[in-house]
Structure 1
Amino acid sequence: MSSRTRPRARRSRTKLALVIALSLIALLVVTAVAGAFYLQHRIDSRIERFDDPFASLGDDRPTTAPATEGTETHEPPVNILFLGSDSRISAGDPSQWEYGAQRTDAIMVASISGDRESVTVMSLPRDSWVPIPSHGDNKLNAAFSFGGPSLMVGTIEQLTGIRIDHVAISDFESFQELTDELGGVEITLTQPLEAGGTTLEAGTHLLDGEQALAYTRQRYGLSGGDFSRMQRQQNWMRGMLAAAFNRDVLTDPVALTDLLTVAAENMAVDEGFGVSEMRDLALSMRDLRPGNVTFISAPVEGTGWSPDGTQSIVNLDHTALEEVSQAFVEDRIAEYVEEHPDIVRLGASVE
């Protein structure tokens, strides 16, 4: 592979990076319930960690109160910011981070409900035009370029009012291997897909790693452009979660170890997200199933151009986003999505 094509391939792979962390959380549920704590420690040693991204944000951050339902009070929700980085340096070794050198292709906030019975994942378009603290208005993914994980957290919290508890980053170098470890991912195609020298016709197929990569890299013939690609990312994540729960890999110690090792070796998390916290969170989520994981997108008004006319941008619907964000803050986002199905338009159909 030439040096000219390698960076582009890497950027394409990063658009699916977050499924590594999502799959890891799902699989930790299984290992925790099974009592395989030795496996958790082994996997934990493979995960890279970066310095506390919250330390420089000060005390004036959003707060999340425990949700109260009737007479029962739950724990506060846990909100994790997942970032797909175009550089492994910026994920696993922040000491090598360089100003302006890295951006994020995938940005998602995953909220684990206070009762630990549901997870809602909101994608934010990378080209959203937003205010970035101390840097003026710019594309959302520029926050990572300007200030790494800490500035991205500050930007998201300022934009939404949602308190971020942890950050996970990955460059997704081995996503093909991870897909193949699971035995493939089932995806329903609405149009033919060319991959590996063959053409798959429209319909439901079990895609291997190479085919899944082609599915998510496709740029042309998609009605919604980047929005369609976000939809495909989410389709793939649903498939990964379903495969993780439904196939024998979760009951096969060898297969499970291999899968978790691949996942762990390709992600980095903040230093406060240790194995004990992961284990406790996993145990509290032991009844969670793929059907309780919902993918939505931040409300948008449409696309346009930056004020200077040089950048294609996404214009968020700030009025609707404020309402959605408040539902996250009050730990009622799962109910809100059910009552406002238009918010889940990315997940409602398959591109």
Structure 2
Amino acid sequence: MHEPDRHGDLLTAPAAESAPPIAPSERPARRRPRGFVAAVIAGALVLVAASGAMALLGYRTSLDENIERIEDPFAGIDPATRPTPPPAAGPDAPVNILMLGSDSRISAGDPEAWEFGAQRTDAILLLHLSADRQSAAAISIPRDSWVPIPGYGEAKVNAAFSYGGPSLMIETVENLTGVRIDHFAVADFESFTTLTDTLGGVEITVPDGAGGSVEQRMTGEEALEFTRERYNLANGDFGRVQRQQAWMRAIAVQVTEDRTDVVKMSRFLGALTRSVSVDEGLTIDKMQDLVLSSREISTGDIAFMTAPYSGTGRSADGQSIVVLDRAVFDPLMEAVAADEVPDFLAATPEGIDRLPAVVQ
């Protein structure tokens, strides 16, 4: 059974006709603040961070009702096959969240609506929060990575969600990485346009065409088109992954800067909680505990990166695939499992595709 080579996700679609040039922001450069939680990234960490403001805004119950819950996706996985969770290195344990960007978020939270082969996920992000709550890592796994999928042989990693929903996706990533997943979330990435607009747009640093860079303030639609581009990028899909991460980072920065604006945060939280599905174990109380323990993390403490890859190729049945560089990928994942990511990155300057300050 072969995965269709053409994906119908919103993020897989070619970019629409180019929008008019976006005027650079004339605001002076701003210091990126600490506090609250700058792990407001990629939906899942955004959700964790934003939840810390619920009590203050008085929306705890109503926002909780907005969030779509996925019936325990871990229940269908044989416990004997799962990685052993690491012991807590401090007052808190490390947390790993598997985050997907999908074109079918609602059905992901409704098992009765799930259809074999119908749900696609384009963005796959492994989010790691350190036990000491001093750092975080956001590791994108290319959707075309050729990996073993339990019960189906080798296929593109995003086929796992199509074949077996959240449970098979979690099992596939755990088998691939050796990292135990604690929580699972699916975001409707189209809704990131709304999230962006509730913040009044976000600033993303891009080349200025003269060898320098400039911060461009983008609306939600402009940012979406920015992340959809792939064919005109020198690095193709890998460049698109970095653009997605740059958008997530920009949202994180804007939220930390606007966190005292009650009206803006109220709109943001409403849009946010309507855009995600999470496993039923990620309760409001759990979210609030995470944000309180992570309040010292800043955006600079979050390492955005793409899973190490050696290039692209073709599968035996002719599909275009990404070949992971297991010589670097496996040690990186061992560092995640052992909660030693900062030390690993400091000792491994080569072979890790980190998100640059300026995205192409």
With the shorter chain as reference, the TM-score category is: 0.7 to 0.9
Change (3 A) 1:156 1:9: closer
Partner of 2:168: 151
Which whole-Å CA distance do the structure 2 matches of 1:344 and 1:246 have between them? 29
Structure 2: gaps spanning 5 or more residues: 1-7, 15-40
Normalising by structure 2, we get a TM-score of 0.84
TM superposition shift of 1:160: 0.6
Determine if the alignment matches structure 1 residue 46 to structure 2 residue 70: no
2:47: which partner in 1? 24
The 5 A counterparts of 1:138-287 are: 138-190=155-207, 203-247=214-258, 250-287=259-296
1:289 equivalent in alignment to 2:306:
no
Q: Which secondary structure does the structure 1 equivalent of 2:278 belong to?
A: strand
Q: After superposition, give the CA deviation of every residue in 1:20-61 in whole Å (9 maximum; x if it has no partner).
A: 3332222224x16xx528423321110000111111112221
270-279 or 213-222, larger mean C-alpha shift: 213-222
Is the 8 Å Cα contact of residues 67 and 331 (structure 1) preserved in structure 2? no
Runs of 4 or more above 4 Å deviation: 7-13
Partner of 2:38: none
* 1:101 pairs with one of 110, 118, 138: 118
| 2:94 maps to 1:114 | no
Q: CA deviation at 1:322?
A: 1.1
**Aligned letter for 1:154?**
E
Q: What is the CA RMSD across the aligned residues, in angstroms?
A: 2.1
Mapped pair 1:299 → 2:316: no
Q: Match of 1:241, as an amino acid?
A: A
SS in 2 for 1:341: coil
Structure 1: stretches of 5+ with no match in the other structure: 1-6, 193-200
> How far apart are 1:155 and its partner, in Å?
0.3
Q: Is the 8 A contact 1:189 1:203 kept in 2?
A: yes
How many angstroms does 1:11 deviate by?
5.2
Cα deviation, 1:62-113, whole Å, max 9, x if unaligned, reads: 1122254xxxx34321000000112134333222000011121000110110
> Is contact 2:124-2:140 (8 Å) kept?
yes
Q: Relative to 1, partners in 2 of residues 1:328 and 1:287: Cα closer, same or farther, differing over 3 Å?
A: same
Provide closer, same or farther for how the CA distance between residues 343 and 181 of structure 1 changes in structure 2, counting only shifts above 3 A.
Answer: farther
Q: Give 2:340's match in structure 1, choosing from 313, 329, 332.
A: 332
Between the aligned partners of 1:55 and 1:338, the Cα distance in structure 2 is: 37
Structure 1 distance, partners of 2:9, 2:144, is: 18
Identity of aligned residues (%): 46
9 and 133 in structure 1: CA distance in 2 versus 1, 3 angstrom threshold? closer
Q: Secondary structure at the match of 1:221?
A: coil
On the 8 A contact 2:70/2:108 being kept in 1, the answer is yes
- Give the Cα separation in 2 of the matches to 1:321 and 1:163: 16
**Aligned equivalents of 1:339, 1:313: Cα separation in 2:** 29
SS of the equivalent of 1:206 reads strand
Partners of 2:230 and 2:11 in 1: CA distance? 15
CA 1:299/1:43 → structure 2, altered by over 3 Å: closer, same or farther?
A: same
Matched pairs, number: 323
Q: Does 1:128 align with 2:145?
A: yes
Partner Cα separation in structure 1 for residue 315 and residue 321 of structure 2: 6
Amino acid at match of 1:59: P
Partner-residue secondary structure (3-state), 1:282: helix
Q: What is the one-letter code of the residue matched to 1:42?
A: S
Q: Secondary structure at the residue paired with 2:215?
A: strand
